[in-house]
Structure 1
Amino acid sequence: MADQIRSEIIKSNPIGKGLDALRASFSSICKDKSISCGPDALSQLRPGDLQNLTINLIWALQGLLTSRLLPSTGGGRSLFDDLLRLNSAVSSDDFDFDRTKPLLNAALVDSPEDTFLWDQEHRRYMDDVLKEELGPIYVGLRDFHHTYFGDVADLKRTSEAFFKQCIEGSNPLFDDGWIGWPKDANQDDVLNWFADFSERLSTFAEGHKSTRQRRPLAKPNEPIDGSIAIRKMDVGFVDGSNAKKDSRCHWSRILVPGELMSNPYAREVLAAKDTRRFVLGFTICGSLMRIWEFDRLGGIASDQFDINKDGLRFVTTILGFLWMSEEQLGFDPTIMTSGDKRYIDIELDGQTERLIIDKRMKRAPWIAGRATTCWKAHRKGDPQTPLVIKDSWQYVEREEEGELLREATDRGVINVARYYYHETVEVGGTDDDIRSTVRKGLDVMAAENYRAGCSAMSRNISVATAPRKGGSTAGLKRSSSQTDASLPPSKRASSASRTKAASGSVPNRVHRRVVLRDFGQPIYEASSPAALLRGLEGCIEGHESLHKAGFLHRDISTNNLMINEDNNNPSWPSFLIDLDLAIKEQREGVSGAKGKTGTRAFMAIGVLLGEQHSFMHDLESFFWVLFWICVHYKGPGQERVVPRFDKWNTVNDMEELAQIKLGLITSEGFFHRNMTEFFTEYYRPLTPWVSKLRRIVFPGGQNWKREDMGLYFSMKEVLREAGKALSDA
């Protein structure tokens, strides 16, 4: 069914002339180099030429409606999201462009077969590129098995008894004895053997102690529900009170993912269940098995063992997966369930307070990163007062968001999400972090591929912050190192994190929780253009208040500006969230801070060029937020694709992006032509006001360095005038 829908999408949306510009570019390159545009031409081109052709192809595919309709292969909303990430990888300095030649050849033929081309894009490249999002992977940790299975009660004794009976042929469930992994069998036979063995082992285990309601899963050809993409899984273990062998499965019920030949689908499992701290899985290649653990730093794996030579270890592993508690399998024990309600308990002013979770607002779909999850909640007995619980895994180098929020709230800052509480999450009486709690002290430096992993880590790490125990409030946010479903954040790494990765030391992430008193929607969901302008004005006022209190936000973006149009909601009408990248300013010294931080599409030109980050740069980011919304939204929350500007998120060179933005705003005539061409009909009435803001934020066109506190007043005044004009029209 899924393949049929995919075929219909491709057939109904032919590529047509969508690749003509790519072919023209290819012909021009070949002509300049005096080579024939034949099948062997790509092998004669330099990496730089291949990079340009590949990027042009990705942009062309992004501009086709098909890329928005085909499902993602990696947890995004569509293939378009995958193309954004592929573009980012292709733009890096160490991408192997031999991998793109078959794809380019498929696109450059005179009459490409559409299905073949889209299949090339999906199957040949996406899996390799998306694996880079896993973070560093360390394999061959010899203490892995004891670390994760050693504390499962009665596991060793029961496994030994079971295996002994199998060898002797005395177990009635295995009257054919221990035959080991099937040899010369096809995939279906192997999967049936695995499922059958696990079922019989589960039956045996029930006679020794209460076994949880689990069953093996072996349906490699059946898509699993609960993913944006059409995803399948070879083998694994499923949880559920109605776990029946032939029932349809959902990713949220996958306890342990497993694969034949490849890495387990930990991404899907982590994204589907918002209480998952880490995921255990396994891979089987022939008779060789390896156990995996995936968390917010990446992944680690056991040494590889042969099922036929070490059957007891295999039995112990399978029985361990059947017997492990949910906490041992990576679920967060601090998020509890009573009936159909979920809740957390916090200690506030010496008393325990219960926060009831109403709904999940967001969950980052990727493995490595902050993995920010946000829930709307309320205090028990007070459902009318909304709270936001923000859960994330933070690096510890920077100032803590919870402390910054508490201090800002205490200083009376307006239009910024107000603090209620924050803590470092504790599991088993200790702070929950990756090194000690999740990986239980396993030393990745003992891994077989540690040095190679360090090299990958130095490319993947980016900034985050961390709150400690004791305080309250912040809102929605994307992972700093991963891609948001609607907008890739492309956060810049802190120098401390890059230095740590380059030096070979292993980073750590700590599990933090912040509770906020303000709830709203992203500003691009404003009910009207006038409401958008009012919301933007309020957020600028919040930034000014924050700045006067001695804080610099440094991450003004569409997802960090919130609006509240519900008269029954006591939150600010509009407000800033997310102080993950915020700093305290040194009032005695120069205003600002070094380092390129923020969400790439909205970063100020000066920041992209390496200037100290000041409040002026944040005000420029407000301008880019308004411009972006006018280009990308056809109405409240109705996003569209505009390749010319979407690529801002994936330009690898910061100075190149600065030049692109500078070229856009330098000439008033050129800027006006872009507004006329790209503003949606819904936001086209804002054209003169956005143009007026441009003249204020960039006086003299190229002078974007204006250091004037009066800019706060000037920008708010323009927004206020624009709102009045729209209301009077």
Structure 2
Amino acid sequence: MRDETQAKIIEDNPIGNGLDAFRTSFQSICKGASISLIPNALEQLEREDIQNLILDLLSALRNLSAVRSLPSKTGRGTLRSDLLRLELSLDSDDFDYDRVKPLLKSTLTSDPDTLIWNHAYNAITESTPPPRLIASSLQQTPWLRNTSSFANSSEHRKYVDDVLKEELGSLYVGLRNFHGAYFGGVAGLDMASQAFFEQCVQGSDPLFEAGWKGWPKDANRDGVLSWFADFSEKLAAFADGHKSIPTHQHRRRPLAKPNKPIDGSVGKRKMDVGIVDDPQAGKNSRCHWSQILVPGELKSNPSADKAPEAWLDLGRYAREVLAAQDTRRFVLGFTICGALMRVWMFDRLGGIASEQFNINDDGLQFVSTILGFLWMSEEQLGFDPTITTANGERFIEIHRNGSTERIIIDKVMQRAPCIAGRATTCWKAHPEGQPETPLVIKDSWQYPERDEEGELLREVTDKGVVNVARYYHHQTVQIHGEDDDIRNSVRRGLDITQAANY
């Protein structure tokens, strides 16, 4: 760094003992691995230990005062943002740890501050993956850097939110045909919604008359929650009695419980309202994220219908749902800010939303939305239809060597807790009737421009490479005979360039 301004920033903000905790961590790792503290000790560490060291160092660097003033390599923002992106890229399959080792070594040997910062800039330049693209490629290619590589095991909200904002990127709202795309296929929805709404406007004491009866004028949260709970009970009773629906849909209930954490997340997460897979759900019920089908967020102020507030809160819930439900491809949700409602869909590219509508002006649209959530099939809610359950077993079917094989899923081994990205899930499995033959199913969203991982694994298996998993089969997931992708399969062809905020 030859820039005089940068040199002055470094001089005015010395590192001092700001990296001592990292050096102590290094000594502890070496001691645990029975490695002497010698100059080449780094070369003797396992990859996982090196990754943990890099995480510790980047976290320490981001807490130094200089990093908030040193400029970003991109020309926008500060070096702190660059270091955060570098930290998130560690989970990339093609991350080159050797390019960060000069920074590690320089820090461990307590080199001058200028040299340490030079190595930090070099590591960012060489190691950080290119920024995500926009427009057509954004619609197709999931983002690599995401909350699945979040290093803080406590997952405090203040730490998660910054990462989640960057992961989600731009959220596109105001897509005109959103409701038709996601609710149009729900059998009998239009007729049933009209029938229920007609009940609401009839009688001497109608439930809807120039707005919903009981709706709090100031849209205060407690009042709206009480109103929503009462409305939901009436709608759920109507939904159960209106037509014959599958058993799993009878289990669904709208739920309002703002002050109780939902079980199943690392950090405490509270959700205002939603649709839950629990027929006994009530105000005092305890629910798990694995039961949340449709998360919702309430705000009393209509102006909260924007990215830093209601949108991000709902995104946080969608992340928990996707992490807890290993067959979920996408998550539908909703926000109500004042009386203004939007319906959302979060997938492996981020989030899109419907046009805003006032539930007191368009009561029928509100009824259709909530009833639609209750009546949707599991596939319409975002579950993977290629993973089937029968006789208490989950399985997939593959076409291998000219015949169909059934692969029984035993358990989840790992699922990346993120929204946008490859969202890799690994299951332990076995061929039907062959429990003695263990298999691992790896499921992830792929980058179309990259080589298929299955082909690479088949090649190394054919060559007899040792210490590598043996190839069994690979294929692209298909939904109704078409390759599963974001733009056409998940987003139903909705075009983000037509969004109100594009």
**Shorter-chain TM-score: which interval?**
0.5 to 0.7
RMSD over aligned Cα atoms: 3.8
- What does 1:520-531 align with in structure 2 at a 5 Å threshold? none
Question: How far 1:168 sits from its partner (Å)?
Answer: 2.3
Residue of structure 2 in register with 1:426 after alignment:
478
- Cross-structure match for 1:364: 416
Deviations 1:313-360 (A, max 9, x none): 111110011111111000011111124321111111222211111111
Q: Which stretch of the first structure deviates more once superposed, 295-304 or 135-144?
A: 135-144
Q: Which residue pairs with 2:257 in the alignment? A: 219
> Which residue among 349, 355, 379 is the counterpart of 1:297?
349
Give the Cα–Cα distance (whole angstroms) in 2 for the partners of residues 272 and 417 of structure 1. 27
Q: For residues 194-273 of structure 1, what are the structure 2 equivalents within 5 Å?
A: 194-209=228-243, 210=245, 211-240=249-278, 243=281, 246-261=284-299, 262-263=310-311, 264=314, 265-273=317-325
Q: How does 1:72-151 map to 2 (within 5 A)?
A: 84=59, 87=62, 93=74, 94-95=76-77, 126-151=160-185
Cα 1:248–1:85 change in 2 (3 A) is farther
Cα distance between partner residues in 1 of 2:21 and 2:349: 32
Cα displacement string for residues 465-511 of structure 1 (whole angstroms, at most 9, x for unaligned residues): xxxxxxxxxxxxxxxxxxxxxxxxxxxxxxxxxxxxxxxxxxxxxxx
CA displacement, residues 130-161 of structure 1 (integer Å, 9 cap, x when unaligned): 22222432111111111101111111111112
Contact 1:55/1:87, CA 8 A, preserved across alignment: no
Q: Which amino acid aligns with 1:130?
A: L
CA 126–350 in structure 1, closer or farther in 2 if over 3 Å, else same = closer
SS at match of 1:394: coil
- Distance in 2, Cα, partners of 1:287 & 1:436: 32
Amino acid at match of 2:475: E
CA distance in 1, matches of 2:61, 2:242: 50
Q: 1:551 corresponds to which residue?
A: none
Q: Deviations over 1:21-72 (max 9, x none)?
A: xxxxxxxxxxxx9xxxxxxxxxxx999959x97999997999999xxxxxxx
Does structure 1 residue 158 correspond to structure 2 residue 185?
no
Distance 1:307 1:176 in 2: 11
Residue in 2 that maps onto 1:456: none
How many Å separate the matches in 1 of 2:180 and 2:8? 48
Give the paired residue count.
371
- SS state at 2:472 partner: strand
Letter in 1 for 2:349: L
Aligned 8 A contact 1:167 1:177 in 2: no
Q: Is the 8 A contact 1:359 1:377 kept in 2?
A: yes
Hey, what does 2:390 align to over in structure 1? Answer: 338
The one-letter code matched in structure 1 to 2:381 is L
2:433 to 377, 381, 389: 381
Residues 344 and 123 (structure 1 numbering): CA distance in 2 closer, same or farther, change over 3 Å? closer
CA contact (8 A) 2:406 2:431 kept: yes
Deviation at 1:429, TM superposition (A): 2.3
CA contact (8 A) 1:169 1:176 kept: no
| d(CA) in 1 for partners of 2:233, 2:79 | 46
Letter in 2 for 1:268: E
- Where structure 1 has 5 or more consecutive residues not aligned to the other structure, the ranges are 1-32, 34-44, 66-79, 100-120, 451-729
Letter of the 1:239 counterpart? D
Residues 214, 239 of structure 1: 8 Å contact kept: yes
Matched to 1:444, the amino acid is I
Report deviation, 1:164.
2.1
Q: Which moved more, 1:282-291 or 1:331-340?
A: 331-340
Partner of 2:220: 186
Partner of 1:403: 455
Separation of aligned partners in 1, 2:188 and 2:18: 54
User: C-alpha distance in 2, partners of 1:61/1:290?
Assistant: 46
Give the superposition deviation at 1:270: 0.4
Q: What TM-score comes out, normalization by structure 1 length?
A: 0.46
Moved >6 Å (runs of 4+): 45-48, 52-65, 88-91, 96-99, 170-177
Q: Is the alpha carbon distance of 1:350 and 1:334 closer, same or farther for their aligned partners in structure 2, counting shifts above 3 Å?
A: same
**Alignment-derived partner of residue 413 in structure 1:** 465
Q: Call closer, same or farther: CA 1:242–1:178 in 2, change over 3 Å.
A: closer
Paired residue type of 2:286? R
Q: Hey, what's the Cα distance between the residues in 2 that align with 1:255 and 1:384?
A: 35
Q: Is the Cα contact below 8 Å between 2:410 and 2:427 reproduced in 1?
A: yes
Task: Name the CA distance, whole Å, in 2 between partners of 1:183 and 1:442.
Answer: 35
Structure 1 Cα separation of the partners of residues 321 and 7 of structure 2: 37
> Quick check: which has more Rg, 1 or 2?
1
Contact kept? 2:255, 2:274, Cα under 8 Å: yes
Which whole-Å CA distance do the structure 2 matches of 1:419 and 1:287 have between them?
Answer: 54
Deviation of the 1:443 alpha carbon: 0.6
Q: Which has the higher contact order (CA 8 A, sep 6+)?
A: 2
CA distance in 2, matches of 1:360, 1:200: 38
1:411 CA displacement = 3.0
Q: Which residue of 1 aligns with 2:328?
A: 276
CA distance in 2, matches of 1:212, 1:222: 24
The match for 1:436 among 458, 466, 488 is: 488
Q: In structure 1, what is the Cα distance between the partners aligned to 2:355 and 2:17?
A: 40
> In 2, Cα distance between the equivalents of 1:86 and 1:208?
61
Native 8 Å contact 1:169 1:178 kept in 2: no
Deviations 1:395-440, CA, capped at 9 Å, x for gaps: 1001111122223322333332221111111112211110111001
Q: What letter matches 2:229 in structure 1?
A: A
Give the secondary structure class of the aligned counterpart of 1:449.
coil
Given residue 131 of structure 1, which amino acid in structure 2 is its aligned partner? Answer: K
* Pair 1:373–1:302, CA change in 2 (3 A): same
Identity of aligned residues (%): 66
Task: Give yes or no for the alignment of 1:322 onto 2:360.
Answer: no
For the 8 Å contact 2:193–2:364, the answer to whether it is kept is: yes
Letter in 2 for 1:293: M
Rounded to whole Å, the distance in 2 between the matches of 1:54 and 1:272 is: 44
In structure 2, C-alpha distance between the alignment counterparts of 1:163 and 1:86, rounded to whole Å: 58
> Contact 2:342/2:355 (CA < 8 Å) preserved in 1?
yes
Tell me how far apart the structure 2 counterparts of residues 449 and 308 of structure 1 sit (CA, whole Å).
24
2: CA distance between counterparts of 1:218 and 1:145? 23
* Aligned-partner Cα distance in 2 for 1:347–1:306: 49
Q: Relative to structure 1, is the Cα distance of residues 123 and 250 closer, same or farther in structure 2, using a 3 angstrom cutoff?
A: closer
Is 2:386 the partner of 1:352?
no
Alpha carbons of structure 1 residues 48 and 343: separation in structure 2 relative to 1, 3 Å: farther
Compute the displacement of 1:169 (Å): 3.3
Structure 2 partner of 1:115: none
Q: CA separation in 1, counterparts of 2:286 and 2:17?
A: 38
Q: Distance in 2 between matches of 1:274 and 1:85?
A: 34
For 2:43, the equivalent position in structure 1 comes to none
Deviation at 1:128, TM superposition (A): 3.9
Distance 2:205 2:402 in 1: 56
Paired letter, 2:386 = T
